[in-house]
Structures are given as structure tokens and as C-alpha cells.
Amino acid sequence: MLRKQDTSVAKAKQAISNYKKAVGDSAGMAELMVFYCECAAGFCSDIANDDESYFAALVRMFEQALVVADKLPANRREALVARLDRVRGISEKIGYGVGDNMDFILAKYR
């Protein structure tokens, strides 16, 4: 935003889709999805983004990351869920119900 950087959700999701097609590794997919959530939540927190479609994409990716992580071995799953829990904490401060939605989703997978 400050350096005319593109914040396209579609491009980020396309990168994840391309990875899935090329590699298909569940652990790598989960890592990439969690990283997306971390970056998106950090961006919203730092820049004070108020785009509802961006928030909806973040919440959807949060849930998809949990679905993929849930199929991994316990030690790997717990590490990714801990990172997603930190994303949830950041998202509580964003507002717009993002953190509440993440609370609900996380409760389903615990």
C-alpha cells in the first residue's frame, strides 16, 4: 500500500492453488495457508484495512488451514494451530467480527 504493493487476495490464493497442483504436500499446504493468515492479519492490523471481502477471505483461509492441519501428525498440527491461535488473537483487534468468527471455527477443531 505504501509502496504501491498489490494486496490481491486472488493472487495469494492462486499461489496456494498452484502449490497444491505442483506439489500437493499437505504439510506444505498447511504451512502456506497459515503463513497467508499470518500475513493477512498482520496487514489488517498494521494498515487498518477495512475491506470486508478481505476479512471474509482471511476467515475462509483460516478455516481451510485448520482443515488441512487437522489431518497432519499431532506435533505438526499443534504447532500450526498455535500459530493460527496467534492469528486469531491479532484478528480480535481488527473488529468486524473477524476474531469472533475465528473463535467459533477454532472451537470446532479443538
pLDDT digits (tens, 9 = 90+) for 9-60: 667 667 777 767 677 788 999 999 999 999 889 888 777 667 788 889 999 9
In angstroms and rounded to an integer, the radius of gyration of the C-alpha atoms of the chain is: 14
**pLDDT at position 69:** 95
- Give residue 85's pLDDT band: very low, low, confident or very high (50, 70, 90): very high
Average pLDDT value over all residues in the chain: 84
Round to whole Å and give the CA distance between 65 and 26: 10
Residue type, 108: K
Percent of the chain with pLDDT over 70: 85
Q: Is the pLDDT of residue 1 over 50?
A: no
Predicted TM-score (pTM) of the model is: 0.82
Query: Which helix H or strand E contains 8, and what residues bound it?
Result: none
**Cα dihedral 43/49/51/52 (nearest 10):** 80
Among left, alpha and beta (phi > 0; psi -120 to 50; other), residue 26 is alpha
Angle at 109 between CA 106 and CA 110, to 5 degrees: 85
Per-residue DSSP letter, 41: H
> Residue 81's pLDDT is what?
96
